[in-house]
Amino acid sequence: MEGIIREGSSTISNYSSFVKAQQYLTSTRKESFIPAKIANYISVLECLFAVKSNNTHNCAERVSRFIEQGDSRVDLYKKMKKIYGVRSSYVHGGEIKHSHDLEEYSVELDEIVRRVFKKFLTEFQSFNYLPNNSKKIDKYFIEVENSKGIISSEKVFN
């Protein structure tokens, strides 16, 4: 089928979410248009956290639960929702509010993505998943959302 990115005999849809996130991150680092950069950073996070529905809330909650605690978690959740609004406005052709904050949002997202990747690589190696493993990742984060914090990934992956 024409138009599908192929590497060898695999289509991009067969790559793990972790690999897709890395590909988005590579694109993000090359992007100079800040709204597109923000949209790509959000795509990185959606891939890593296997966000499939209720994207604004789920992405913000999963990111904040994964890297923050206490009041900092609430602050990050609110900030992520605001930044997600910028992404949605850009992607869906709406007016971008808070345009004076775009550069700051981009810098903050870069740091957030760094922290998330670091945690995935050091504490959650099981999340550097095999292809089509996003259902288990989603299940893990649903369990986290129903608990009081981060739980062992072995509960889902073993």
| Better-scored residue on pLDDT, 6 or 64 | 64
Q: Quote the CA–CA distance of 121 and 2 in Å, as a whole number.
A: 35
Q: For residue 158, what pLDDT band results from cuts at 50, 70 and 90?
A: very low
Say if CB 34 and CB 103 are below 8 A apart: yes
pLDDT exceeds cutoff 80 at 75: yes
Q: What is the pLDDT of residues 33-70, one digit of tens each?
A: 999 999 999 999 998 887 776 777 788 888 998 899 88
The domain limits of the chain are 17-157
Sequence-distant (≥ 6) Cβ neighbours of residue 15 within 8 angstroms: 23, 131
Q: For residue 141, what pLDDT band results from cuts at 50, 70 and 90?
A: confident
Q: Quote the CA–CA distance of 23 and 124 in Å, as a whole number.
A: 19
Whole-number pLDDT of residue 13: 58
pLDDT exceeds cutoff 80 at 90: yes
Which tokens in the block code for residue 142? 């649903």
Query: What is each CA distance from 37 to 2, 30, 76, 134, in whole angstroms?
Result: 27, 9, 19, 24
Burial of 27 (0-12, 13-18, 19+ CB in 10 A): middle
Q: What is the pLDDT of residues 102-121, one digit of tens each?
A: 999 999 999 999 999 998 88
